[in-house]
Amino acid sequence: MKSFKKLTLLMLVVMSLLLCTLLVASCGGNTSTDTSTDTGDTSKPNDKETDTSKPTDTETGDEVDEYVTYTVYFQNQNGQPIEGVNAQICTDSSCKPPQVSDAQGVCKFYNDVKDNFKIQINSVPEGYTMIEGYIPFPEGRTSTTVTIEQNVTYSVTASDLHGIKLENILVELYKKADDTLIDSKITDKTGKVEFTLGPDEYYAIVKHAYDNGAFTIASDEDRITFEKTRNALIQFVVLDTPVDYSVLLKDASGALVNDAEISLYNEKFELVGTAKTQNGVATFKTQNGLYYASACVGEGEYAKTAILEKNGATSVEINIENAVAGSDRQHPIMLLGDININLEVGAQLWYSVPFAKGKTVEINSDSVEVRYIVDNLTPNADGKIMFTLSEEGEAVFRVKSTASEAINVTGEIYKLGSLETPIEISVGTSHIFDLELGEGEKLYYSFVAAEDGTIRVETENEYAVVSINGNRFKKSVKAGEEVVICFFTEKQSGELISSPAASFEATLSLAKTNADYKVSVNLDNQISPDTKIELYTYDGESYTMVGEGTTDANGKYIFAGLVETADYYIKAIYTEEYETISEYIPFGDETEITVYITHKRDGSQKYPFLVDSEDGTNTTEVVLEANKEVWYTLFYITGATISIDNQNASVEIYIQTGDGEPVAVTTLTGETLSHMLSENYGTTTRVLVKITIKNGEAGTVNLTYTAPVVEDEE
């Protein structure tokens, strides 16, 4: 009996120990049951000073050893990690302290219990598009990947058929989805323009040439698409219509001078060619343009420079005078462009600029004194002398060395009315212009806005074009802003683009005016009634809401009687079943705007999830629920391969063109786990992929899309 009692007591002790062990196991383990955050790093932060997001006991203030880890992976559209994203996670009532993503694009947050957290992005590195609003974690998950779009550079290069790069070609960039003008630029000396912005579908329109005369676009059309490359080339046929220019040379007595060399310079003061006089005349056959002619004669003889005008005088007379060039005010050295002279110690030379009234001279030297009319001009703190010439015909000035050794003096000459030295005007209620423009000529004016206001330029000339601060669509300015206005002419007929000579009157006014700002909301390419929208202004640092409304049955709303400004922004507010707008959308210089929103993709056939279709390889993890199908879509690129890694999965591949019915192509199942897209379709064709599990159980499938790499054109 005693043995039985001992045995019974021993069994009770063993059972108590087992029960205690079970209780410890159930109460003393890590509370996180989510395995989706496992990245191979099993270490936990233990630095109390630097890990501010690790939870602590509210009563004792000690760190809690048991917590849930929330992990966010930030990547760009190519799957590369993004370092430097400032983000935090929030519930409806509070937020965790912000973290900054590391070199692997990872932010980690810690909480004592599992909760419904959402991700809030505070800032992104330069070159990335900010995401506004909250990003929820997938249901039941404590890790997620957030893609932030990185800006991409698109370029257009203009050349003639011989490969010569063309400058001053206007290129406009449009968004393909809604034909919205994004930006416009003019090609530089390399014939190139670049647009750097978020990746999307864009196309460019080549509008016309400004100063290059007449052009014909040699390509099939002037619309450039960026489908397989981000670098496009557009070619022109330059229309060459030679003109005969003649120069008559006489000596001081009026007799014709033979066998003398005449030099011809273009409007950039580059030497075009030389010709000898016969019967006193030298002839040049060259393209219609603006030219300067000068005579090269014997020592002690000096010939003044004359101008041959574009679409104007094609013949000119030059007279020789017996004098040493630069010796005095009456016989200055002619300057045809950039200044580049050498002066000995204490030496002085006289110079002139032909047809100089209104031109500005800039001399770069701190070792010279310049005399113009009666004033001696000395260098400023930057070592430069700049003055505007006011004489008719030829403006004359003297340059004198003040250095203790021989020096070189450089500088430039600008025409008044050019971009470098625009004509300054005073703008009150209005300003009237009486303009004479040569073919391809631009004329610049400038003023400083005394107050906020709207610029209005009115002219009856149908070819008159005005740009404000380089923007043909700008209309409003702020107080204190320096405004530069450019007048030019534009004429287009078929493929021929030209800049004709013209004279016209224009009236400029600056005043505060009111306008109706119209907003249209488009949902999945259909009008969106009953959509709440908000209007904001932006002061350079923050947005301020100034109005709100709800679209009518036609998906439109009007903010009536607003003071015109370029700083209005629109946001559309709608339910969670739609995608949120990632940024405030500016009206720019227009008073009408369309906001495009799309239905949130839910994995159905109508709203399938997107697979990255950029060049290269992209793998998407597909989480499958029991007895439920999920749909994905991607662009159709010939030669691309679709593959999976789960033999228990069934993947049905369909082709859909436009809004047509999907057409079945093949099914990936069993041993056949990949398919190559071999047919050639248009850009409106896409691939639909339906994924299910054959045994009806939950699981995961890695869906891999491998597209052929297309090299960008240089």
Query: Which residue ranges form the domains of the chain, and what is each CATH number?
Result: 68-147 (2.60.40.10), 152-238 (2.60.40.1120), 240-322 (2.60.40.1120), 325-406 (2.60.40), 423-492+499-511 (2.60.120.380), 514-597 (2.60.40.1120), 609-707 (2.60.120.1050)
Distances (CA, A) of 443 to 288, 294, 426, 435: 20, 27, 16, 9
For the chain, the helix, strand and coil percentages under 3-state DSSP, each to the nearest 5? 5, 50, 45
Distances (CA, A) of 218 to 159, 207, 239, 404, 641: 10, 14, 12, 59, 37
Distances (CA, A) of 78 to 13, 157, 227, 614: 62, 26, 17, 7
Buried b (16+ CB within 10 A) or exposed e, 693-707: beeeeeeebebbbbb
Cα 37 from Cα 627, distance rounded (Å): 26
Q: In the chain, pLDDT over 90 holds for what percent of residues?
A: 12
Cα 474 from Cα 484, distance rounded (Å): 11
Q: Facing residues of 562 across strands?
A: 515
DSSP symbols for 118-165: EEEEEE--TTB----SEEEPPTT-SEEEEE-PBPEEEEEEEEETTS-B
90-104, 366-380, 529-543, 578-592: range with lowest mean pLDDT: 578-592
pLDDT over 70 at 546, yes or no? yes
Cα 365 from Cα 379, distance rounded (Å): 7
- SS3 label, residue 216: strand
Average predicted confidence (pLDDT) for the chain: 77
User: In this predicted structure, what is the pLDDT of residue 29?
Assistant: 37
In tens, the pLDDT along 335-356 reads 867 888 889 888 888 888 877 7
Parallel, antiparallel, or unpaired for β 68-75 and 143-147?
Answer: parallel
User: In this predicted structure, what is the pLDDT of residue 42?
Assistant: 32
Query: Sign of dihedral through CA atoms 254, 257, 261, 265?
Result: positive
In tens, the pLDDT along 378-413 reads 888 888 898 888 876 678 899 999 999 999 999 888
DSSP symbols for 304-344: --EEE-TTS--EEEEEEEES-TTSSTTSPEE--SSEEEEE-
User: In this predicted structure, what is the pLDDT of residue 44?
Assistant: 36
Query: Sign of dihedral through CA atoms 26, 28, 31, 36?
Result: negative
User: In this predicted structure, what is the pLDDT of residue 65?
Assistant: 58
In tens, the pLDDT along 409-442 reads 998 888 778 887 788 787 766 788 888 887 778 8
Confidence of residue 654 (pLDDT cuts 50, 70, 90): very high
Distances (CA, A) of 180 to 149, 441, 565, 590: 20, 29, 19, 11
Cα 629 from Cα 626, distance rounded (Å): 9
Distances (CA, A) of 708 to 566, 599, 637: 43, 30, 8
Closest among 382, 341, 385, 383 to 362, alpha carbons compared: 385
Confidence of residue 552 (pLDDT cuts 50, 70, 90): very high
Using CA atoms in the order 268, 270, 272, 277, what is the torsion angle rounded to 10 degrees? 100
78-82, 305-309, 345-349, 640-644: range with lowest mean pLDDT: 305-309
Chain centroid to Cα 337, Å, comes to: 34
Instruction: Tell me the whole-structure pTM to 2 decimals.
Output: 0.36
Top mean pLDDT of 82-91, 187-196, 303-312 is at 82-91
In tens, the pLDDT along 438-478 reads 777 888 888 888 877 788 788 888 778 888 887 776 777 88
> Tokens 């009150």 label which residue?
428
